[in-house]
A and B are shown apart, each in its own frame.
Chain A
Amino acid sequence: MSLFSALNNAVTGLKANQIGLDVVSRNVANANTAGYTKKVAPRENAILDGDGAGVRILPTQRQVDQRLLESLRAEISRSERLDTVTDYLTRVDELFGRPDQETSIAYAVNTLSIRMGELVDNPENAGVRKAVIAQADAVARELNQLSGAVQDMRSETEKSLSLAVDEVNNALKGIEQLNREIANREAANLTIADLEDRRDIHLQTLARNMDIRTVERGDGAMTVFTNSGHVLVNERAAQLSFDGRQVLTANDAYSTDDVERGVGSLTLVSPGGTRVDLLQDGPPRQGKIAGLLELRDERLPEAQAQLDEIAHNLALGMADRETTIPLTGTNTRSMDFTDAAEAPITRASGSDQVLRVQDGDRMAISYTQGGMEKSMTVYFVDDASNTDLLNRVPDPDNAVFVDITGVGAQNQGLANRIATAMSSAMPIGGLFSATGERLNISTTTATVSIDDVALHQASTTPVDGPMLNLFANGNSPRIEQEAYTGNLSSTVWEKVGFAGRIGVNTEIADDDTLLVRYTAEHGEVAVGDNARPRFLMDQLTETRFTYSPNTGLGDAAHPYKGTILDLGRAVVSYQGMEATTQQSLSEDQATRTTLLEQRHSSMTGVNVDDELAELILLQSAYSASAKVVQTVDRLFDDLMSLR
């Protein structure tokens, strides 16, 4: 009530306006800082003992809608995942080919078929033969290159995962520290707005890398969980650890078994020391880490599988020796597997003729049931107990495996095993039977009629014709080149990564006349006889194969069928489609994220004009309070000058 109180009130006003100016100046200075939220300095009427005593400034606050911020973080996670995947898939698309420059693998295989066509017309021309070898080499190299690039990208993802994990760990540590400071300052009633800003930045870093959930505790600290409920930061921060490999190859894949696992796995180490394997129990579903994991374990291996499929079919298709089991009666087909004249199912191995079937050979049966055409394939394997076998064949629903360990050197016992295996495989039993070494197949019954039964084997010598083992396993002069036989039951599946190892058979590269000449029944064929080039060309352009569903084309019930040229085309288109799809998903997501970001920043960002207007307000308020002080001062003078 006294002058003193007036003075005091004016001084509180001055102080309040000073603080206000300070806040405004800070806001203006940070107008362009990303992640800075607008601060306000709230005031309240200072009341002491029921009487007003001027104005009191409360701790600076920021105006943030927490729910909006959480939604924004979730959208950022999604965006980041989609952007990462799109980025890599676009690179894969570019690798696989561009339509205007025609450098796609489809084009290379097509050119091979064109050269082969020229060879059909001019088998005696040495120049044409060399051109065929050169193009085959080009195809092999392209496959090698693509395979190498795909695996390089996988290695990149592994490294990026390490970096992302580091980033996450730093952010977690930062959050832990800030939590403590915020709690302390809150208790001391100090402003925490700026620290909260800093914490939000860390949280955003976290959200970019993996999807998180946050809960704000009463004391201002923020608890962060993974989406599956594991605690990342509470009182103390957990750490993520990633045992990444330096270089990944096609055979390095994720497995829940630590011994087999060839790639790194994410482990969450809690502050108490408990380890949780995140990939097995709650992997991140959004964020960069999720995108990189998806690329490393699903998308890039799928691209590799596509390349391997092309390589596998190129090598085996050209080397395919087909032996039909002949009709021996009106309703029977039969063949004696031990009779070399009747069943020429041989493969030369070194200086001996190995007469028996080998792992990877198969018998294709096509039959009609109820008017529908179906097929069944019998695969000959060395180890039928290998659990991965069903994954390795293109048509697992219609595959039968026959174990050939113990079958005699001339296929003794084979007919029996086939009959046993087929007795339950066909829709009606009893169609396949064995008498001695002779396999008998009754071809026509009331419901099922068997149209064709043919044995397919991979030739491993250029002497046998007209098939040719043009491609082999091994493309470096330092490694000994082996024949590729499509082995099915080995522990490490030969087909995985074959695109990186395929090369032109050095025997044929050294002697290109092998493209034309081979030994037929009556002797060596003439140098102008184009039977072999014609066979090779048909295998490339007309014969239809069935492709494995793990390429992403077709599925187990309806596998993709087509020529090798079709496969090349389908693979290139598939990658293109994937890239486009991901890109449009990513763009859609970006729109959503941008909208939220705009909304958030419009609520919490600094509008310079606004601040300047506030400045005007403060300026006049300060002058007014200063005027009050001046007036009270004069009044005091007046008081003092009273005699």
Chain B
Amino acid sequence: MTSISGFYTPSTYQNTTALGQNLQLRKSISDLQTDIARLQEQQATGKKAFTHGDLGSESNVVQGLRQKVSGLDGYLRTISQVSTRTEGIQGALDVLQQAGDRLGINGMTALNTDADIQLQQIPREAQGALESMITALNSNIDGRYVFAGAETQTRPVTNQDAIMNGTPGKMGLKEFSQLWLDANVGDDGMGRLSITRGEGVLAPETLSLKSEGGVFGLKLRGVEIDGSASMPGLYETANGARGDLTFTGPGAPGDQVDLTFELPDGTETTIVMKGVSAKIGTPPTDVVEYEIGDTAEQTAINFRVALEARVKDLVAGEVSGAASAAAADSFFEDNPPRIPEGDPATGATRLASAGNTTVKWYNGPGMPNVTVDGHIQGSAPGLPALNDAPANPKAGDQFLVGATPTGGDPFDTHAGEIATWDGTAWSFAAPTAGTRAVADTNANWDSPPQPADLRGQIVEYDGANWQVFDPGTDGVQVLAGDQAGGDRSDAVMRWDAGTSSWSVVDPQPTTLIDDNANPKRIGTYDGFAWTWTTPELGQEIDDTSVTPAATRVWDGSNWAPTGRGPEDIPEARDTVIAKVDDGTYVSYGARANETAFVDTLKAAAILAAVEHGGDNADHYHALASRAAPNLKSAAAKVIDTRTAIGVTEDRLNTLKNRHEDVGYLTEQQVNRIEKADEYEVATSLLDAMNQLQATYSITGKLSQLTLANFL
């Protein structure tokens, strides 16, 4: 209750002061002006709010949506880029496939016509095809080589000229395949097969068939006789097999001898020798006729002549073709490639690593190293113990003469000595201290003065007795020679210090390093014998005989550790991965050394490398009949690869559409929240402006209404 000068004034009396009124008015005007300014800005920007705060609780939603849109944009960009690359890959593979296919068809067509003219065009065509295949595999898209796996800056395939003709200091495929050809054909065109009559002490009607090419040439595998000839059997020699065919009589027409040979590419072929009384003009193609002579010796002579002719034909054709194909296999698939060991190649019996002497056709990643799964400390030759000399030793074989040799036998009076057959005669020598060998299971190994149970063990002569060889450390491995007998032949044996005995390792390692050899060579078993290759400086191997597996490199004297393990070579597709959605990845890599591509390249390359002059028509024919079908099947594999990539492309397309749709919807949602409705804003603006106008006019009028003006 207020009172003015003592008068009663009711409490409902409201006094409005000049100052208060004025301030009130100014506040209203200022509020209205702020409103108008805000509405103006809304209209100009089209957005409801200027700070996150103004959006209120929807701020989090808006941000989430914007982030989603931004994420989708990122994925769409990735998809677009990946699509460009896969399109490039598909294009290149199309070229590859077409080239291979066309060459294959032309090759097969040429093979089926009698005229040689068509086949003569094949090398040139193959060269053209190879050129376009290599260009396709070296495709570069956006500065990336798409067939180089993860090493996108490395050109994967060497150019065609270098592959074919080599570079200074390095062999190309032409020279490489020539070496293989030489080794398989031999210097007399007989495919490393020698047919001699009456060799040494043998009768003149005995033909000695020897395949002496080691891994090369025609390898004698089997003989079947139906008629008056006999062969005690094939037995192994140092470099192959040997069979002595004895004609027991002149024979009769209809006699048949089937000789089975293994060709350089692993296939087998059989020469059927048929005895006839007189040769027909043109015999059937798969039969070789020989004339029955008056005597066994005459038959043998005829047999030999006919066989030689046939062998030469075979060598000029099938063997040469197979040799070239095998050469291409090694050039493109072995790392490093293998060449015949020794010079001249015509005398080689083993393969050796070509090391750095060949052009590397593939420069990208993903070439696996040779995997070594065993180490040996030297080898020990097999030493069967016999009382009597064996009937058919091969040159280099050694035997231990037993304690009781039979009188009259070459082994007589040489008890306890080591007998060596040099091919013609026996030589004997007392064992020297330190000699090591693998004892066979012959009981002669038990008889005194040998004290311990030596049968089947690796033994060492200590000067007086044979003892079980104790290497000192548990787990030492030694390679037993091929005369060791039983499952010890050519097998790796391990020393068990606990039981003090040697046993055959199971499972047998396939690739060995001989730590006792100098240099420490690598050995592989080719099914026949162990072949040793000398390491090259810088050559790497993956040693899986230790845990963890380690990669080693040859430094000239030792296999030095590199500190790394064997590379886990990923699937070609998985070498390049892109992220196309939350937690979703697509793999779209490719490598030029994928099987499908290598098969195509290989076949085209060898067809181009071997020249087709007039005199090697059969050779080329045989080669083409191997390579052309390979091209067709390789082209099919390429199609498989293309299909796989096509599936990925399809998936990318689906994802792209989905992302676009979702992105659009999300943008709509954002706009719904953020955007200001233009009509609403315009209306509010008009209202506010009207209010302001009214306020101004009232303010004006009020300012006149004061008592002072009326006094």
A residues adjacent to B (C-beta < 8 A): 31-34, 40, 42-43, 63, 90, 93-94, 96-100, 102, 104, 106, 110, 113-114, 117-118, 120-125, 341, 521-523, 525-530, 534, 537, 541-542, 565, 569-570, 572-573, 575-580, 583, 594, 598, 601-603, 605-610, 612-614, 616
A68–B75 alpha-carbon span in the complex (Å):
65
Given contacts A42-B5, A63-B2, 15 further A-B contacts (CB under 8 A): A31-B18, A31-B19, A42-B6, A43-B6, A93-B52, A99-B52, A99-B55, A99-B63, A527-B151, A528-B153, A529-B575, A530-B150, A534-B579, A583-B53, A612-B707
A570 contacts B60, C-beta separation under 8 Å: yes
Some 23 contacts from A to B, beta carbons below 8 A apart, are A97-B52, A99-B52, A100-B50, A102-B66, A113-B74, A120-B579, A121-B78, A121-B82, A124-B144, A124-B153, A521-B564, A527-B151, A528-B151, A528-B152, A528-B576, A534-B585, A541-B582, A573-B63, A577-B59, A598-B20, A606-B19, A612-B707, A613-B707
- In the complex, the chain B residue whose C-beta lies closest to that of A600 is B20
- Report A-chain residues with C-beta under 8 Å of the C-beta of B124: none
- Report A-chain residues with C-beta under 8 Å of the C-beta of B568: 521-522
Known pairs A341-B548, A522-B551; A576 contacts B19 (CB<8 A):
no
Q: Which of A40, A522, A607 contacts B17 (CB 8 A)?
A: A607
Q: Is B565 in contact with chain A by the CB < 8 A criterion? A: yes
Known pairs A114-B74, A605-B19, A608-B18; A124 contacts B152 (CB<8 A):
yes
B578 contacts A120, C-beta separation under 8 Å: yes
Q: Which of A43, A527, A605 contacts B20 (CB 8 A)?
A: A605
- Report A-chain residues with C-beta under 8 Å of the C-beta of B152: 123-124, 526-528
A33–B56 alpha-carbon span in the complex (Å):
40
- In the complex, the chain A residue whose C-beta lies closest to that of B70 is A110
A122–B15 alpha-carbon span in the complex (Å):
78
A573 contacts B59, C-beta separation under 8 Å: yes
A43–B3 alpha-carbon span in the complex (Å):
13
Per-residue CB contact flags for chain B residues 52-92 toward chain A (1 = under 8 Å, else 0) read: 11111101101110110011011101100110000000000
Chain B 537-596 interface residues, beta-carbon cutoff 8 Å to A? 548, 551, 562, 564-568, 575-579, 582-583, 585
Q: Is B697 in contact with chain A by the CB < 8 A criterion? A: no
Q: Is B113 in contact with chain A by the CB < 8 A criterion? A: no
A124–B674 alpha-carbon span in the complex (Å):
40
- Report B-chain residues with C-beta under 8 Å of the C-beta of A541: 71, 582
- In the complex, the chain A residue whose C-beta lies closest to that of B15 is A602
A510–B333 alpha-carbon span in the complex (Å):
41
A175–B568 alpha-carbon span in the complex (Å):
86
Q: Is B149 in contact with chain A by the CB < 8 A criterion? A: yes
B residues adjacent to A (C-beta < 8 A): 2-6, 14-20, 22, 24, 27, 45, 47, 49-57, 59-60, 62-64, 66-67, 70-71, 73-75, 77-78, 81-82, 142-144, 148-153, 365, 548, 551, 562, 564-568, 575-579, 582-583, 585, 674, 706-708, 711
B52 contacts A117, C-beta separation under 8 Å: no
- Report B-chain residues with C-beta under 8 Å of the C-beta of A578: 53
Closest approach, in angstroms, between the C-beta of B88 and any C-beta of chain A? 14
A33–B150 alpha-carbon span in the complex (Å):
83
- Report B-chain residues with C-beta under 8 Å of the C-beta of A569: 60, 63-64, 67
A580 contacts B53, C-beta separation under 8 Å: yes
- Tally of contacts, chain A with chain B, CB under 8 A: 194
- In the complex, the chain B residue whose C-beta lies closest to that of A35 is B19
B577 contacts A526, C-beta separation under 8 Å: no
Known pairs A43-B6, A601-B17, A609-B706; A530 contacts B576 (CB<8 A):
yes
Known pairs A114-B70, A573-B60; A31 contacts B17 (CB<8 A):
yes
A125–B57 alpha-carbon span in the complex (Å):
42
A100–B52 alpha-carbon span in the complex (Å):
9
- Report B-chain residues with C-beta under 8 Å of the C-beta of A572: 52, 59, 63
- Report B-chain residues with C-beta under 8 Å of the C-beta of A32: 18-19, 22
B15 contacts A542, C-beta separation under 8 Å: no
- Report A-chain residues with C-beta under 8 Å of the C-beta of B56: 577, 580
A610–B17 alpha-carbon span in the complex (Å):
9
A93 contacts B51, C-beta separation under 8 Å: yes
A420–B65 alpha-carbon span in the complex (Å):
47
- In the complex, the chain B residue whose C-beta lies closest to that of A578 is B53
A1–B22 alpha-carbon span in the complex (Å):
52
Closest approach, in angstroms, between the C-beta of A537 and any C-beta of chain B? 7
B71 contacts A122, C-beta separation under 8 Å: no
Determine chain A's interface SS by DSSP, over half rule.
Answer: helix
A98–B27 alpha-carbon span in the complex (Å):
28
A534–B578 alpha-carbon span in the complex (Å):
8
- Report A-chain residues with C-beta under 8 Å of the C-beta of B16: 602, 607
- Report A-chain residues with C-beta under 8 Å of the C-beta of B77: 117-118, 121
Known pairs A99-B52, A99-B62, A580-B53; A528 contacts B144 (CB<8 A):
yes
Q: Which of B2, B73, B75 contacts A603 (CB 8 A)?
A: B2
Closest approach, in angstroms, between the C-beta of A181 and any C-beta of chain B? 26
A537–B577 alpha-carbon span in the complex (Å):
13
B18 contacts A606, C-beta separation under 8 Å: yes
A523–B27 alpha-carbon span in the complex (Å):
75
A529–B143 alpha-carbon span in the complex (Å):
15
A32–B17 alpha-carbon span in the complex (Å):
9
- In the complex, the chain A residue whose C-beta lies closest to that of B547 is A341
A575–B71 alpha-carbon span in the complex (Å):
24
B20 contacts A100, C-beta separation under 8 Å: no
- Report A-chain residues with C-beta under 8 Å of the C-beta of B566: 522
- Report A-chain residues with C-beta under 8 Å of the C-beta of B70: 110, 114
- Report B-chain residues with C-beta under 8 Å of the C-beta of A96: 52
- Report A-chain residues with C-beta under 8 Å of the C-beta of B64: 569
A579 contacts B564, C-beta separation under 8 Å: no
A607–B14 alpha-carbon span in the complex (Å):
11
Closest approach, in angstroms, between the C-beta of A505 and any C-beta of chain B? 24
A578–B75 alpha-carbon span in the complex (Å):
34
A610 contacts B63, C-beta separation under 8 Å: no
Q: Specify which of B19, B64, B82 lies most central, judged by the most chain A CB atoms within 10 Å of its CB.
A: B19
- Report B-chain residues with C-beta under 8 Å of the C-beta of A40: 4-5
- Report B-chain residues with C-beta under 8 Å of the C-beta of A522: 551, 564-568
Closest approach, in angstroms, between the C-beta of B108 and any C-beta of chain A? 39
- Report A-chain residues with C-beta under 8 Å of the C-beta of B20: 598, 601-602, 605
- In the complex, the chain A residue whose C-beta lies closest to that of B579 is A120
Closest approach, in angstroms, between the C-beta of A409 and any C-beta of chain B? 21
Closest approach, in angstroms, between the C-beta of A369 and any C-beta of chain B? 28
A577–B2 alpha-carbon span in the complex (Å):
46
Known pairs A96-B52, A525-B150, A577-B53; A607 contacts B15 (CB<8 A):
yes
A614–B4 alpha-carbon span in the complex (Å):
10
- Report A-chain residues with C-beta under 8 Å of the C-beta of B151: 526-529
A608 contacts B576, C-beta separation under 8 Å: no
- Report A-chain residues with C-beta under 8 Å of the C-beta of B59: 99, 572-573, 576-577
A528 contacts B150, C-beta separation under 8 Å: yes
A122–B73 alpha-carbon span in the complex (Å):
16
Q: Specify which of A99, A598, A605 lies most central, judged by the most chain B CB atoms within 10 Å of its CB.
A: A99
A335–B69 alpha-carbon span in the complex (Å):
44
Closest approach, in angstroms, between the C-beta of B567 and any C-beta of chain A? 4
A579–B567 alpha-carbon span in the complex (Å):
57
B53 contacts A576, C-beta separation under 8 Å: yes
- Report B-chain residues with C-beta under 8 Å of the C-beta of A123: 152
- Report A-chain residues with C-beta under 8 Å of the C-beta of B78: 117, 120-121
A578–B59 alpha-carbon span in the complex (Å):
12
- Report A-chain residues with C-beta under 8 Å of the C-beta of B75: 117
B708 contacts A608, C-beta separation under 8 Å: yes
Closest approach, in angstroms, between the C-beta of B656 and any C-beta of chain A? 14
Known pairs A99-B55, A521-B564, A573-B59; A542 contacts B17 (CB<8 A):
no
Q: Which of B14, B53, B143, B564 contacts A90 (CB 8 A)?
A: B53
Closest approach, in angstroms, between the C-beta of A89 and any C-beta of chain B? 8
A154–B584 alpha-carbon span in the complex (Å):
45
Closest approach, in angstroms, between the C-beta of B14 and any C-beta of chain A? 6
In the A-B complex, the 6 residue pairs with the closest CB atoms: A605-B17, A576-B52, A528-B152, A522-B567, A529-B150, A580-B53
B711 contacts A612, C-beta separation under 8 Å: yes
- In the complex, the chain B residue whose C-beta lies closest to that of A612 is B707
A537–B437 alpha-carbon span in the complex (Å):
63
